[in-house]
Amino acid sequence: MARTVVIEAHGGPEVMKIVDRPVGEPGPGEIRIAHKACGLNFIDVYQREGLYKLALPAALGMEASGIVEAVGEGVIHLKPGDRAAYSSQPPGAYCEARVMPAAQVCPLPDSISFEEGAAMMLKGLTVDYLFNRTTPIAKGDWVLFHAGAGGVGLIACQWARSEGINLIATAGSDAKCQMALDHGAVHAINYRTEDFAKRVREITDGRGVDVVMDSVGKDTFEGSLNSLRPLGMMISFGNASGPVPPVDLLALASRGSLKITRPTLFTHIADHATCQEMAGRLFSKVASGSVRIEIGQRFPLDQVAEAHRALEARMTTGSTILTL
């Protein structure tokens, strides 16, 4: 049996409950993993609220790290005793142990701690597809990144610095802006006190940025479009402030033939080999010191509701993990 966070109805943090669930043995293509730590992400909130519908009752959580206890038939990249970390479907990472598909579980290098592994997989793999798999971004290009002091944002700031990319971060306080600057952003804008689109134009001498990476959604979408240069790319990859309303395609034309995409991590990592390749790039960035994983908050598993409240209230910085 393993303590597991489940929901029986969509709603606020109070709908989460911890129950004992049987773990069982892995079948073909599966592993059983005993968790050391679990990561917390906005997708967990979207699933809990019902923005992303789950068949109920459902377990929550999309990333974790731990020790492989058993492997099923056909699993060759992992063995019992291996350290491992993942961001993977289906949900269910908020638990002490689970049986799950093996394809997106990655061997975790000894140089990376279990807490770092739990804090970095979904966020770090997201940064990898944003910079390497969505649109060409070259040294010297300008990127606007919203929520620059969050878990994804602090990784993105460091990633951009390591690649010679000019990243402009936005955040909701001067302290968070300073965090983004300390992690590699070349400029940071407090969107509560400044018009970020206007400030972006000033920073770029009126040109606009090549790419916007926006996980905030509804509140920043219009300003994000206004921050792009002609032929620029808008990457909308989250909905922290709510989903983006329907888009008038003529608005893209009038702003200079803009491009827009709405990717998801799980499309990018669906192929086993691609997932392992992306994880390899992420691990190399961390092992080399180019990217440091900042864990701003730790909550025990039985305080998962408090962790969700802190995330939704924008009271967190860096990554948040659940400890076991």
CATH code for the domain of 161: 3.40.50.720
Please give the angle made by the CA atoms of 125, 129 and 131, to the nearest 5 degrees: 115
pLDDT mean over 166-176: 96
53 within some domain: yes
Do 93 and 167 share a domain, yes or no? Answer: no
Distance between CA atoms of residues 113 and 32, nearest Å? 20
Those residues whose C-beta lies under 8 Å from the C-beta of residue 176, and which sit 6 or more positions away, are 148, 149, 190, 317
Do 185 and 287 share a domain, yes or no? Answer: no
Please determine, for residue 314, whether its predicted confidence score (pLDDT) is greater than 90.
no
Do 87 and 188 share a domain, yes or no? Answer: no
130 within some domain: no
Do 7 and 111 share a domain, yes or no? Answer: yes
Distance between CA atoms of residues 92 and 4, nearest Å? 8
The proportion of the chain whose per-residue pLDDT surpasses 90, expressed as a percent, equals: 96
The helix (H) or strand (E) run that includes residue 298 is strand 295-300
Those residues whose C-beta lies under 8 Å from the C-beta of residue 248, and which sit 6 or more positions away, are none
Inter-residue contact 324 to 35 (CB < 8 Å): yes
Please determine, for residue 226, whether its predicted confidence score (pLDDT) is greater than 90.
yes
128 within some domain: no
Distance between CA atoms of residues 57 and 54, nearest Å? 8
Q: Residue 83 — pLDDT band, cuts 50, 70, 90?
A: very high
pLDDT score of 160:
98
pLDDT mean over 133-140: 98
Task: Please say whether the dihedral angle defined by the alpha carbons of residues 134, 140, 144 and 145, taken in this order, is positive or negative.
Answer: positive
Do 96 and 29 share a domain, yes or no? Answer: yes
Instruction: Express each pLDDT in 113-124 by its tens digit.
Output: 999 999 999 999
Do 153 and 218 share a domain, yes or no? Answer: yes
Range of the domain at 242: 135-262
Inter-residue contact 93 to 64 (CB < 8 Å): yes
pLDDT score of 97:
98
| Tokens at 96, concatenated | 């002490």
Inter-residue contact 122 to 39 (CB < 8 Å): yes
Question: Strands, DSSP E only, in 88-242?
Answer: 97-101, 105-107, 142-145, 166-171, 187-190, 209-214, 228-236
Domain boundary among 262, 287, 303: 262
Do 96 and 140 share a domain, yes or no? Answer: no
Do 258 and 139 share a domain, yes or no? Answer: yes
Do 116 and 8 share a domain, yes or no? Answer: yes
| Tokens at 53, concatenated | 């519908």
Instruction: Express each pLDDT in 239-256 by its tens digit.
Output: 888 889 999 999 999 999
Q: How many domains does the chain have?
A: 2
Do 31 and 86 share a domain, yes or no? Answer: yes
**Count of Cβ atoms closer than 10 Å to residue 262 Cβ:** 12
234: helix, coil or strand?
strand
97 within some domain: yes
**Count of Cβ atoms closer than 10 Å to residue 242 Cβ:** 12
88 within some domain: yes
pLDDT score of 240:
83
Gap between the terminal Cα atoms of the chain: 14
216 within some domain: yes
Do 146 and 228 share a domain, yes or no? Answer: yes
102 within some domain: yes
Question: What strands lie across the sheet with 209-214, from one edge to the other?
Answer: 187-190, 166-171, 142-145, 209-214, 228-236, 259-261
Do 34 and 70 share a domain, yes or no? Answer: yes
CATH number of the CATH domain containing 89: 3.90.180.10
pLDDT score of 241:
86
Please determine, for residue 293, whether its predicted confidence score (pLDDT) is greater than 90.
yes
114 within some domain: yes
Q: Residue 190 — pLDDT band, cuts 50, 70, 90?
A: very high
Distance between CA atoms of residues 228 and 207, nearest Å? 8
User: Which pTM was predicted?
Assistant: 0.94
pLDDT score of 56:
96
Looking at every residue in the chain, the average pLDDT score rounds to 96
pLDDT score of 48:
97
pLDDT score of 242:
87
